[in-house]
């Protein structure tokens, strides 16, 4: 196994009487593609929120490239290179695709971001265009957000989350809000674009076709715990996973 880029040890998170994360231990190798599966309330988002600094664990540790990042702010964690996209695309409807991307580049590229100092340099615009091309959406660059399909919005949102130096990308349901016939093409573009940059990918997904096709390893969550951590075929045929997660009967 190559070096673990993310090392999560014995992490717990409680919300009052609810234990949202219990004994969470996992090492993710650099460059891997992991998916997180589990029913509603199983603890997937809590895991993502703890890794990205949106939630602080009650105990346990999270290390990134050997550095303890437990409890650091989301901004600090983003600066280190752990980025995320949300289930609902975070886009500004009044701006074009290119302008949204420029704003993201400005924010990620500056230590003290200000929307009053947009990145209008030719270099910034070239970088924006290059990124839009990599995600297959350069042709849409002059369109406003409400004119775009769900799939193009997703691609732009993930491209924007990639602005700056990304080492790990956490994607919350990358195919939600995407038409059925767009799902595989969108995932092909996303996975290829992120892999080409050597980014480690961790995505939350309910669609088992997507999980099987794109992840190298699957973490199955149930009741705040990881009940399986293996290759997709192994996890999806695991009797506990079938009983508690996928609802498939053997």
Ligand X SMILES: Nc1ncnc2c1ncn2[C@@H]1O[C@H](COP(=O)(O)OP(=O)(O)OP(=O)(O)O)[C@@H](O)[C@H]1O
User: Under the rule (CB under 6 A), what is the footprint of ligand X?
Assistant: 15, 18, 20, 38, 40-46, 221
CA dihedral 173, 176, 180, 181 (to 10 degrees): -70
Q: Tokens 């996992």 — which residue?
A: 26
Cβ at position 182, least distance to ligand X in Å: 21
User: Residue 142 CB, nearest distance to ligand X (Å)?
Assistant: 35
Nearer to ligand X, 17 or 196 (CB): 17
Smallest separation, CB 155 to ligand X (Å)? 22
Q: How many alpha carbons lie under 13 Å from residue 78 in its C-beta half-sphere?
A: 21
The CA radius of gyration of the chain, in Å to the nearest whole number, is 18
Residue owning tokens 């997507």: 210
CB of 190 to ligand X, least distance (A): 20
Torsion sign over Cα 231, 237, 243, 248: positive
Our CB check for ligand X shows the closer of 38 and 53 to be: 38
The three-state secondary structure class of 160 is helix
Nearest residue (CB) to ligand X, 62 versus 152: 62
Whether residue 157 contacts residue 91, with contact meaning beta carbons closer than 8 Å, is answered with yes
C-beta of 44 vs 83, nearer to ligand X: 44
> 62: Cβ–Cβ under 8 A, 6 or more apart, which residues?
6, 7, 8, 9, 11, 50, 51, 68, 69, 70
Kindly state the smallest distance separating residue 209's Cβ from ligand X, in Å.
17
Would you say 44 or 154 has its CB closer to ligand X?
A: 44
Question: Would residue 33 be called left, alpha or beta, if left means φ above 0 and alpha means ψ between -120 and 50 degrees?
Answer: beta
Please say which residue, 38 or 136, places its beta carbon nearer to ligand X. Answer: 38
Structure tokens at 198: 């050597």
- Rounded Cα distance between 14 and 17, Å, is 7
**Burial tier of 223 (Cβ tally within 10 Å: 0-12, 13-18, 19+):** middle
**Shortest distance, position 77 Cβ to ligand X, whole Å:** 18
Which is closer to ligand X, CB of 135 or CB of 222?
222
CB of 42 to ligand X, least distance (A): 4
């Amino acid at each position: 196994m190559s070096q673990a880029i993310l090392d999560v040890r014995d992490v717990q998170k409680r919300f009052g009487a609810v234990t949202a994360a219990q004994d969470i231990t996992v090492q993710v190798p650099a460059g891997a593609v992991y998916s997180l599966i589990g029913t509603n309330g199983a603890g997937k988002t809590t895991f993502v929120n703890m890794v990205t600094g949106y939630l602080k664990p009650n105990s346990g540790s999270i290390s990134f490239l050997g550095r303890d990042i437990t409890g650091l702010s989301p901004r600090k964690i983003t600066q280190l290179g752990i980025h995320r996209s949300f289930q609902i695309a975070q886009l500004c409807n009044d701006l074009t695709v290119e302008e949204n991307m420029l704003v993201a580049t400005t924010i990620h590229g500056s230590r003290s971001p200000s929307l009053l100092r947009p990145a209008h340099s030719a270099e910034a615009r070239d970088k924006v265009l290059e990124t839009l091309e990599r995600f297959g959406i350069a042709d849409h660059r002059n369109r406003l957000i409400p004119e775009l399909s769900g799939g193009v919005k997703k691609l732009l949102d993930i491209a924007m989350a990639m602005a700056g130096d990304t080492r790990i990308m956490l994607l919350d349901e990358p195919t939600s809000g995407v038409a059925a016939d767009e799902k595989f093409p969108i995932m092909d573009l996303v996975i290829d674009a992120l892999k080409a940059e050597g980014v480690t990918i961790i995505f939350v997904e309910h669609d088992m076709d997507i999980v099987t096709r794109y992840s190298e390893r699957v973490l199955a969550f149930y009741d705040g715990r990881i009940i399986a951590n293996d290759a997709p075929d192994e996890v999806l045929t695991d009797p506990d996973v079938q009983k508690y997660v996928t609802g498939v009967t053997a």
